[in-house]
Amino acid sequence: MRLLALKIDVDTYRGTRIGVPRLVDALQRHQANATFLWSLGPDHTGRAIKRVFRPGFMKKVSRTSVVEHYGIKTLLYGTLLPGPDIGKRCAELMRGVAAAGFENGIHTWDHIRWQDGVASAEADWTRAEMNLAAERYKTVFGEPARTHGAAGWQMNEHAYRYEQQLGLRYAADTRGTHPFWPVVKGELVRCAQLPGTLPTLDELIGLDGLTADNVHEHILRLTEQEQPYGHVFTLHAELEGMKLLPVFERLLEGWTAQGYKLVSCGDLYDALDPATLPYHHVEMAEIEGRSGVLAIQGAVFP
């Protein structure tokens, strides 16, 4: 059976309150499953303004209409406005998603702090950030998290190792072509990675003639041929849960027509035989359509 896992990154307070319920409704109407990865601490989206000096950032912003998707108020959180505590304010909503049968996991504690700081962070900082998220997750859901998907696909060697110590079933922190066991600076980490295998909508729209009206056709061409390990598609509550919801629904219809069963990342992991997964180095590299570098599946080990 063809499997395509849907990974939903929930980055902001607005995305949690507005985008998530819309996505739940769409998924249920299309009989699709998904994994929701939550930002569990303060929304400090406004602090992303310092990325203006990052190569390629302004070009991406101009393509993806950040103000239109995120809203002025969200873009002031953490600067002119205090950042709302997402996990405290939206705990009941999060539990409702779990009650509806969807898999849940950790995205981050403070999305901007992690995305902009983890790459160069030491072990103590990394552990502290992950512990904040893990403890809040347990408070909200009443049980430990079993999966993690890094904000902005940003990781460091300490984060991979700590995922193993937390006893996670698998993680979805990387981009690549198929599931693998990560090798970090020569060390084998026993927490399998389910990398995103498809480009995201915000990486595509505005490039090579792709628009919100036709971008689904491009992605559906990428999924025409069956892959041995299936696919993982990452979407965002702030995009596909709001203005780009019609695009997402066209994708759901197209994937169903292609014969895919739309599942959670946990479902996809359950369909794998961990003993057969290859080992790959993890690296930081650029991906077309996204500014900066991010964690990717590197060369086969050894």
pLDDT in tens, 60-75: 545 456 656 676 788 8
Which pLDDT does position 67 carry in this prediction?
Answer: 55
Which of the following CATH numbers is that of domain 2-300: 3.30.465.10, 3.20.20.370, 3.40.50.10420, 3.40.47.10? 3.20.20.370
Strand pairing category for 170-171 and 192-193: parallel
pLDDT in tens, 131-188: 999 999 999 999 999 999 999 999 999 999 999 999 999 999 999 999 999 999 999 9
How many angstroms separate the CA atoms of 149 and 6, rounded?
12
Tokens of 179: 């599931």
Which pLDDT does position 66 carry in this prediction?
Answer: 64
Give me the residues of the chain with pLDDT under 70, please. 49-69, 71
Which pLDDT does position 62 carry in this prediction?
Answer: 52
Angle formed at CA 161 by CA 232 and CA 90, multiple of 5 degrees: 60
**Bridge partners of residue 180, in order along the sequence:** 193
Which pLDDT does position 220 carry in this prediction?
Answer: 98
Which pLDDT does position 253 carry in this prediction?
Answer: 98
Which pLDDT does position 127 carry in this prediction?
Answer: 98
How many angstroms separate the CA atoms of 252 and 92, rounded?
27
